[in-house]
Amino acid sequence: MAGGRLKTLHELYEGNTARAHSFRYGLLVFDFVTILFVIGTSFTRHGPVIEAIDAIFGVFILVDFGARVAIAQRRLRFLILPVTLADMVAIVSFLAPLAGEGLGFLRILRTLRLLHTYQLLNRLRSDFSFFRRNEDVVIASINLIVFLFVMTGLVYATQYTTNPQIKNYADALYFTVTALTTTGFGDITLTGTTGRMISVLVMIFGVTLFLRLAQVLFRPPKVRQPCEHCGLVLHDPDAVHCKHCGALIRIETEGAG
- Give how far Cα 233 sits from Cα of 121, 222, 227, Å: 15, 9, 6
Q: Averaged over 222-241, what is the pLDDT? A: 76
Amino acid identity of 52?
A
* Whether residue 249 has pLDDT greater than 60: yes
* Whether residue 236 has pLDDT greater than 50: yes
Task: Convert the pLDDT of each residue in 55-73 to its tens digit.
Answer: 888 888 889 889 988 888 8
CATH number, position 175 = 1.10.287.70
Lowest model confidence (mean pLDDT) among 29-38, 205-214, 218-227: 218-227
Q: Are residues 114 and 22 located together in one domain of the fold?
A: yes
Identify whether the C-beta of residue 58 lies closer than 8 Å to the C-beta of residue 94.
yes
Q: Averaged over 28-42, what is the pLDDT? A: 80
Lowest model confidence (mean pLDDT) among 36-40, 45-49, 90-94, 114-118: 114-118
CATH number, position 7 = 1.20.120
| CB atoms inside a 10 Å sphere around CB 138 | 17
Identify whether the C-beta of residue 104 lies closer than 8 Å to the C-beta of residue 90.
yes
Q: Are residues 2 and 80 located together in one domain of the fold?
A: yes
- Domain around 144: 134-219
Task: Convert the pLDDT of each residue in 152-211 to its tens digit.
Answer: 878 887 888 788 888 888 888 898 888 888 776 778 888 888 888 888 888 888 888 778
Q: Are residues 145 and 198 located together in one domain of the fold?
A: yes
Name the domain count of the chain. Answer: 3
Res 47: pLDDT: 74
Res 198: pLDDT: 85
Looking at 94, 126, 158, the residue that finishes a domain is 126
Percent of the chain with pLDDT over 90: 0
Res 105: pLDDT: 64
DSSP 162: T
